[in-house]
Amino acid sequence: MSQPVALRSDAAATPGRIRRRVATGTGATLALAVASVGAGGAAHADEYVVRSGDTVSRIAARTGTSVAAIAGANRLANASRIAIGQRLVIPTGASAAPAPAAPAPAPAAPAPSSRTHPVVSGDTVSGIAARYGTTVAAVVAANGLDSRAFIRVGQQLTIPGAGAPATAAPVSAPVSAPVTIAPVAASHRVVSGDTVSGIAARYRTTVAAVVAANGLDSRAFIRVGQQLTIPGAGAPATAAPVSAPVTIAPVTIAPAAVTHRVVSGDTVSGIAARYGTTVGAVVAANGLDSRALIRVGQQLTIPGRAAAAPTTALVGNTFAGRTYPEAVVASANANKATLLRAGVPSKAEMQAKVVATARAMGVDLALAQAVAFQESGFNQTAVSPANAVGTMQVIPSSGEWASQLVGRHLNLLDPDDNVTAGVAILRQLLRSSPDLPTAIAGYYQGLSSVKRNGMYADTRVYVANVQTHMTRFR
């Protein structure tokens, strides 16, 4: 657990030099050699050696400077890219924030001090942050908390100085240059079911920002266990330069998330209505699957109203006479939006992928193509109200089964993985079914349902269509 940063200055025997030591919660000691400021107000700088788990934003908070100042002093092209063992120049005093010349040197404004808070029963990170006038992101970053912001009774939390105040006092001296405030970065460990759009919504940032911060390709492909850097929401705001005293306009604060403990009888839709948010927002914030399954005692993150603003519906809620739950449809709409935003291969390219994958997995090429054509017309952006995704129209639970069949995690939003999932399921159905029509029916209705109930009327139509398409692809 991170502990408050303690600063101690010991004047050395040689005049004109100060040696600073910064104690961290891990017991490590940073030796910072600082040149004294002369009568002319020259800046001084410290040196910091990057350790495992460090980010530029954490180093900036710990040393009382800014991300922009560290990036400028070290010529960092990307402030999210630093290496363990790298030596960073930490600007302080005049080098950290340029100030206008004054008749006499004035002491630098101290960075907000840190303090500690012992966690008691009923505490939440959002409540603690509000109590001390700081932000959830700052508390999470200062204490190395995970994406759940999990805390326990008795834990000692480091509470960093408050973030940007809602209203700043009028500035009495001219501001010489624009000031850019860099958002705090966090990290997120990818788990099964995560999507970049869902992660971005959970941390109130954008898909583009997450893609850029992690060097993801146009597919925004992620894998289970991957550590993602989560930058602050959107681009940082820049204050306009002024030449006379001004009053800074109030800053709009995004609604803070709250937590809800699930009790017997709770449903996601009921919880969403109670807190004035949407099912889709609750599902995304908590990484729930298409069933929106919750359990008694579970702690849910409830995003603020702004984060819960509904998006234009891209997918309806009914198919083949069935109406699907709101949580399933919300996930379907999120997946549809992600596919449209990321861009996908053409239908001809997807058909070629189906042929190549079927050949590699020993599945009848005509059967694989016929199923893909019947399901989506080789359209990778297709998403149904049941949250069946992509060219092969695979639902998330079937995607997990396909992942087990091939021995690796499959991302249904990825074109190649989507085809692999569908063809792997076809192959398994062919092995488990007494004949071809039953295997085809199993892809549409589910093999256990076919064996238990026989083929439904719409299933028989589906099987006939697929077998007709097979003659086309022979």
Q: Does the annotation count 400 as an active-site position?
A: no
* Catalytic choice (326, 349, 375, 400): 375
SS (H, E, C) the chain: CCCCCEEEEEECCCCCEEEEEEECCCCCEEEEEEECCCCCCCCEEEEEECCCCCCHHHHHHHHCCCHHHHHHHHCCCCCCCCCCCCEEEEEEHHHCCCCCCCCCCCCCCCCCCCEEEECCCCCCHHHHHHHHCCCHHHHHHHHCCCCCCCCCCCCEEEECCCCCCCCCCCCCCCCCCCCECCCCCEEEECCCCCCHHHHHHHCCCCHHHHHHHHCCCCCCCCCCCCEEEECCCCCCCECCCCCCCCCCCCCCCCCCCEEEECCCCCCHHHHHHHHCCCHHHHHHHHCCCCCCCCCCCCEEEECCCHHHCCCCCCCCCEECCEECCHHHHHHHHHHHHHHHHHCCCCHHHHHHHHHHHHHHHCCCHHHHHHHHHHHHCCCCCCECCCCCECCCCECHHHHHHHHHHHCCCCCCCCHHHHHHHHHHHHHHHHHHCCCHHHHHHHHHHCHHHHHHHCCCHHHHHHHHHHHHHHHHCC
Give the Å distances, CA to CA, from 161 to 131, 133, 249, 254: 12, 8, 21, 19
Residues forming the active site = 375
